[in-house]
A and B are shown apart, each in its own frame.
Chain A
Amino acid sequence: MVVRQYNDELKYLEKLTPYSWKIKKGFQPNMNVEGIFYVNKTLEKLMLDELRNACRPGMVGGFLPGVKQIANVAALPGIVGKSVGLPDVHSGYGFAIGNMAAFDVNDPKSIVSPGGVGFDINCGVRLLRTNLFLQDVLPVKEQLAQSLFDHIPVGVGSKGIIPMNAKDLEEALEMGMDWSLREGYIWAEDKEHCEEYGRMLNADPSKVSVRAKKRGLPQLGTLGAGNHYAEIQVVEEIYDKWAACKMGIEEKGQICVMIHSGSRGFGHQVATDALVQMEKAMKRDNIETNDRQLACARINSTEGQDYLKSMAAAANFAWVNRSSMTFLTRQAFAKQFNMAPDDLDMHVIYDVSHNIAKIEEHIVDGKQKTLLVHRKGSTRAFPPHHPLIPVDYQLTGQPVLIGGTMGTCSYVLTGTEQGMLETFGSTCHGAGRALSRAKSRRNLDYMQVLRKMEGMGISIRVASPKLVMEEAPESYKNVTDVVDTCHAAGISKKCIKLKPIAVIKG
């Protein structure tokens, strides 16, 4: 990292609009393209403070500040357009979380980087609607939260209740949600309303290590820990009535269920295995990066292809995982209300992935190009009439599900044409951390956090209450700031706001 005074660093940053900043070339060495990040006043301050802290003498160790990470990504070989930081951007391993970057597949130098996908491959959010309203659920809220908690195992080391053997896992890795469909865990319409129709076709389970499979097998159908959760939510605000109606959301007070989870230990192992391979590939092909954490390999190299195939298998794992939890959620509701899930209209509104790399077609400088788009802590947000979004959302644009922090609120946005042009059809993914996990543990008391939830009328079930302060709203940026920035910058559009009434988490 280049060491400069904070004021010198600022010379490389330029405010473009009230909601976006440009990172000029030279901010980090060898930048191939410029960087851009989207922030409003509040988020801007957080972003610049982070940079200022890093500029203080003696600040070493830990992750680089988010702005620096965005600029380092802009220096990777084969990157096109811009390295984009979304409003919820914060430091992560190599790539910042909330960073998207696209690489030209037809440029032989272009790379793929596991750091640009993240360790929780295909972590994502799924939203189910119901035809219930707040008054139907309030009297049985506690029972419902308990029932969900009983059905969906949570926490580190949790094990699922859907019996799977090694052969089932192989098939699931290859087939993704088609496996869940075949076995009858989900509905045909679920597949229709899922990014990629719930299956990456290039998945190849034979490229996945035995260790990853061993870790993954017992974990299918479990929520996991960290920021993952399942929430019963109530519609608090509808901004776009027509789009909401297309999603089956008619009125305020309607009950939804949000599931935020990923590929568990399986994805983590796939990413870890790939990083080892990539380091070798970098030496062989003389790929240089600004940061050791940006380990990568050429897209067309064996290592690059193997990673893409195993990443796709991990993505399929995550979809099967969310599908299994969809099944369990429907069971829990059906038991509580003594009605079939069909009669409760428990359809999947949409399912988004916010840690993934995908091959997509985009227009760059007036030319159509095939790109490998990395989205880490960033959600795809395709505009209306895009051929890859479900027919039901052709007129509204793709639904984008933004999971909030525990106890705050969540949003549904829709994709826009402007987002397609500016950010390769990408937008934010959630609140984004403001305090590190360790810092939150030091600063907050878990009893206080739990009591606060209770005070807000939220039923909560947690496997490890002592870790709950890591996920407290105070540890995160304000999700409303993040979403409002995306809306104001025009890269996606607000549609629905949801508020939790019950939370289960690891």
Chain B
Amino acid sequence: MANRSLIALDYPNANSINVKDENTFRKIVCWLETNKIKQAPKETVNFLSNINSKDWKKTYDKYKKFLGCPETLSSDEESLQWIIGYAIREEYCRKKDNFKKATLTDASPRNVPNIQAENPLDKLDFHSDEFAEGINQLAKLLNITPHTDPTITVKAVCQVITTRLSEHALKNPEQYIVKGTPFPLKDADLGIDLTDPVLKHAAKVLRMLYIQDLRNLQTKANELIVAAQKVTANPKTDTRLGKVGF
């Protein structure tokens, strides 16, 4: 981690150095201050550059305090990482404009083939008669009752195609065709207190759709539990513990 950051800062031979080595460590700190951070008073820099000095540690502690390095970072490695981060921030602020340009030029596609970003469907007039007619024909073909608003019909058509006519669904129809006994919707009361038969039917359909939604949600919850069980489950029995009472 430290090495990569140092490479970014153009530290000489950053690839091959060992930051855990005390001498190298001292060299790096000194280098960072002299070349990148450039904030400490002159005498501190002088002391830091004297890497063999007995008092180097003391100066280093002072220097850390001066930069505002948090005291909770106990190990040298952590504090070094923090100072490198500080240096990077300084470097970035100094050359901000340069970096900004670089981001822009780099982000534009170089190796990617040129795709036109526009969707041909965007050009369609969804409210033209031609569109409505086409969609209604498509709906008829798929056995879907068209809605007066063709955009809603499109949504329905889209749903049928993606769920029932997908490649997987066509290969494995048995997984998609709903099994079970049909529900006698017409005869069922469903506890809806409405006199208008059309309204009542609509309410019943909504209720059934709600139950279906609920079922899907519950199935997902169950799948989640099963996935968690794969990690946690470890059922045990020990027949020696068993004792029949009287």
Contacts and interface: CB of A to CB of B under 8 A. Distances in A.
Chain A residues touching B, majority SS? loop
A327 B235 contact: yes
Given A153-B244, A385-B190, A163 B183 contact: no
Interface centre among B184, B233, B245, B246 (most CB of A within 10 A): B245
B245 A163 contact: no
Interface stretch (A82-90, A113-121, A182-190, A480-488): A182-190
Interface residues of B, number: 32
Contacts of B215: 391-392
A340 to B, nearest CB: 14
Contact of A192 (B191, B218, B243): B218
B238 to A, nearest CB: 5
Interface string A145-173: 00000000111111111110000000000
Interface in B195-227: 207, 211, 214-215, 218, 221-223, 225-226
Given A155-B244, A188-B229, A161 B238 contact: yes
Contact of B236 (A154, A162, A395, A417): A162
A346 to B, nearest CB: 15
Interface string B55-70: 0000000000000000
Nearest to A191: B225
B160 to A, nearest CB: 24
Interface in A275-330: 327-328
Given A156-B246, A158-B243, A183 B218 contact: no
B239 A183 contact: no
B178 interface: no
A384 interface: yes
Nearest to B180: A245
Given A162-B236, A182-B233, A189-B222, A395 B242 contact: no
Contact of A154 (B190, B232, B239, B244): B244
A394 interface: yes
Given A183-B232, A183-B233, A192-B218, A159 B207 contact: no
Task: Give the interface residue-count category, chain A.
Answer: 35 or more
Contacts of B226: 188
A79 interface: no
A183 B231 CA distance: 10
B246 A162 contact: no
B234 interface: yes
B244 A417 contact: no
A506 interface: yes
A48 interface: no
B13 interface: no
Nearest to A328: B237
Contacts of B188: 395
Contacts of B183: 395
Contacts of B243: 153, 157-159
Contacts of B234: 183-184
Interface in B154-195: 181, 183-184, 188, 190-191
A194 interface: no
A391 B214 contact: yes
B245 A188 contact: no
Contacts of B117: none
Contacts of A391: 211, 214-215, 218
Interface in A241-296: 242, 245
A200 to B, nearest CB: 19
A161 B241 contact: yes
A202 interface: no
Contact of A463 (B191, B222, B246): B246
Nearest to B222: A188
Given A183-B234, A385-B190, A394-B211, A155 B229 contact: no
Given A163-B238, A395-B188, A463 B232 contact: no
Nearest to A397: B191
Contacts of B241: 159-163, 218
Interface of A: 153-163, 181-185, 188-189, 191-192, 218, 222, 225, 242, 245, 327-328, 331, 383-385, 390-392, 394-395, 417, 463-464, 506
24 contacts: A154-B245, A155-B245, A155-B246, A156-B246, A157-B243, A158-B244, A159-B242, A161-B239, A163-B237, A182-B229, A183-B235, A184-B232, A188-B226, A189-B222, A191-B225, A192-B221, A242-B181, A328-B237, A383-B191, A391-B214, A391-B218, A394-B211, A395-B211, A464-B246
- The 7 closest A-B CB pairs, nearest first, are A184-B233, A155-B245, A158-B245, A159-B243, A188-B222, A188-B225, A161-B242
